Chains A and B, each alone.
Chain A
């Protein structure tokens, strides 16, 4: 009994759906002939399959399509966004709307950046103030990396 029971039970499930190749089927048969517990599980699965297959199929009511048509007609009657435009134009309209939103955002971006831009700094100390004002280094010991870096940024070593 080389095959493990867990694998055999997986094979039983596959065999029920006719998904087991000849070699695997042979392996399974060998295992089942030597393992009563898996044989019992196989019989149980066969019984389950029979039980499930015996479950009756049903038909929808004769009014099924009529009710569906009512839903569709109701939906068609509702006013919709872009309803004024012919359907083939709608993707183009959506793209145009997206482009417009992007263009307006970019325009506002340019305007705001122009307003917020301070005059360019000319001295190292001014550059430091505008960009890398790292006050966190202020209280560090004079020979620490942070303090030296702070002094470097301020142009002390030039």
Chain B
């Protein structure tokens, strides 16, 4: 029965102490939460800790979930706040990001035989993303990587839909401005 239960029902069971329900809830959402955390933190270890912190908050505040929104909206709100707080709490580290070690084995880039080029592009993209203001980055991560609607992003970030439009517009303009010289030089 639990496997087919809705997220909201699983959360209610988890709040009542059902560990199996909580494990199932984590299993359903861990990949998305981890990826969102990864867009913010500088490495896998950090992302894993951040994602665990987010699920820990889910467990802790499960009783306070009133059910007037979807569980996923509530989860993303927690995740976004945690990511923004995490970013504020951390001092910027100057070293560039290398995703080479994180590329999945047998990725398209490797198959094409140009894994190094793909890794280099990924590194530059991540550096450009990192230089965006935190809120623009959250909006972009939710829209582009999580494929969330503007309404979902607005709910997760606790802003209006026009504010999301504006954040995404500015994020894309800034990203384009950072990467434009590389594109013109043919490096990307």
Contacts and interface: CB of A to CB of B under 8 A. Distances in A.
A56 B172 contact: no
Interface residues of B, number: 44
A71 B181 CA distance: 46
B48 A61 contact: yes
A156 interface: no
Contact of A45 (B30, B31, B125, B176): B176
Interface residues of A, number: 32
Nearest to A11: B169
B155 interface: no
A71 B52 CA distance: 9
B174 to A, nearest CB: 11
B23 A65 contact: yes
B76 interface: no
Contact of A48 (B30, B34, B55, B175): B175
B74 interface: no
Nearest to A17: B143
A48 B183 CA distance: 10
Interface string B171-188: 011011001100100001
Interface of A: 9-10, 13-14, 16-17, 19, 41, 44-45, 47-49, 51-61, 64-65, 67-69, 71-72, 75
Interface of B: 19, 23, 26-27, 30-31, 34-35, 38, 44, 47-48, 51-52, 55-56, 59-60, 99, 102-104, 107-108, 118, 121-122, 125, 140, 143-145, 150, 165, 168-169, 172-173, 175-176, 179-180, 183, 188
